[in-house]
A and B are shown apart, each in its own frame.
Chain A
Amino acid sequence: MNNRYRDHIIINALMRGGILPPGVKEELFDQWGEVGYALCHDCLEGRSSLCGRPPVKKHLERVAAFYGGDAAEHTFGCRTAKFAVMRAVREWLDANPERTDTIVVDANSHYSTNIAAELNSLRVAEVPHNGYPTYSMCAAGYEEKILEIKRETGRLPALAVATHADPYYGNLAPVEDIGRICRELDVPFLVNAAYTGGVIPIDMRAMNADFLSVSAHKSMASLAPLGYVITTHEWSGRVFATSAQRTQWSGRVFGKKIPNIFGCSIGGIPAISGMLSMDHVEERVKQWDRDIESINAFARAMEDIPDIMLLGQRPHRHHLLHFETPGLWEALKQQGKNGFYLSEFMIKNGVVGLHRGMSKHIKFSVYGLSQGERDTVLNLFREIAGAKVPAGKE
């Protein structure tokens, strides 16, 4: 069983922020890669997040501090982090009849936000984006939607959720402004930072966020599945409440387990990869301004190819780039080739990550690639579009 793409340049926007830093892969598999429960040898308390050796507990304190929160737990990915928050909110609703079971969510949300809501029987009210070609979210839209719900039901929504960088266009939502509105209107606020936490500097206090969900395998240079849920002291008792059950016949109790994260979370390689990558992640976010500048330069070079335009915010503020490419689609059609040709052409030339079958639109990332690798990607797009290198940009 061989990995066909082992030596390819990866441009999948899902993956670029999750690639392990140099040296971690070797240490990870050399030291820890033999057993599934790699961090559980010295577990004393029955929950991986409480382990002192290896120092998972300390790592989680570090993660919480890194994001400006008070407490963190590691999860089976960002989706379970959101599930944990919504589960806690759902339980909180029982004691707060002045809240509706509706949550306010941006129209660019990742599907797992909506699934987490569905799992917790929370209704979703959408805040619209501003449509083609930027698809941006506006903080005022949250205010309008919250007040509209209040007006119609006489009650406040249970939660507001904003997708920090959305998975469709790579737009940054104005989370600080949304958070301020939520604080003023007294609505708990969750920021889904799956695409940003570990790439862009984040301070959830500045966002006025009560909860932050992040994806380590998407944006914190870690192996899947791994995410974190970070919250404040105000909410940690609810989100991280331990099991209160006592079984009827055997009398067992599971007092160290946290039901909202399914008791005890990841106990193996993914959690260790997150710990080993933390230094790298802390360092790289400091370079974000430089990174985004070079990503915008790449986007502009792509737009020199005829009939290619970056959708979303300009200048772009995230590494996920979504281009509309009707010119590529037309060129392929004229050559009698279908949408699959584009991704296959790239793979044949050592670049993997374009969504198969798509050529009217393409979505990818060059985050973390060397200049040489970016040039390779760019030149392949030029080649397939039959475009020349613009004068002065050879």
Chain B
Amino acid sequence: MVGLLLDCLTTSALLFLVTVGLLIIFGMMRIINFAHGAFITVGAYSSVVAGQYGLSPWLTLILGPLAAGAIGAIAEPLVLRRLYGRQLDTILATWGLALIITQLVTLKFGRGTQPVDSIDLGTVTVLGTPYSSYRLAVIPLVLVLSIAILLILRRTRYGLVGRAVIMDDDLAQTLGVNVKRVRFTSFVLGSAIAGLAGAVLVPMSSVDPNLGLPWLINAFLISLLVGVSTTALAFASLALGSAQVLVGLSFNSVSATLAIPVLAVVLLRLRAHGFVRG
């Protein structure tokens, strides 16, 4: 029972983590970033590079966001800046970007799964149930991250300007806001958070060029449900993550992987606004 509860919480935390970067980019830029999965992969591969230089696996948590953020900083002016306001084209462009990044990773490191030294925290016994300490550690990490994002959006000038851009980018521009810069910053921030998610996934998954892909699909569906609200994302992650775990328990893992897509579609049908109020 305790294990089940912890599974729900940790699965939800992971969902939040892989989705929030996508959400920032969607909110600020109206771009559904299909390269999000590739940025997750890049973040995970920072552990491979760290290993090659004999660095501690903990450093991956910094290197991952840095690497993915850097690639985002190159990609935004090169690819996306020309395509704002053309939503269908940006989907195509970011998907192309994903293919390019994935192929570059494959060329550099090969197709196979990579040997990596990953963070090993062992297990901890929670109310008599042994559980992976690392999975548990993801929960506070996500809490800190989400509070940081909320503070940036609510309490900083970037957040204020950013919210102005979300509400009406044309009006913001006429008021003298440098929309270009806001978009650049958002894309880099979103990419970096994807990189962080990738780095966090390393101790739980196989590091290979397709690592990010299955996460992208769930992240995409959830972001459709929550629009641009981080708070709504927290609720949606908790609800859908728990649903996935519970379906897995009562039926089997095959149906559990269907839980999020099916629920997301049903919710959108019944309530087009998803988890957003109004």
Binding between chains A and B: no
- Chain A residues at the B interface, C-beta cutoff of 8 Å: none
- Chain B residues at the A interface, C-beta cutoff of 8 Å: none
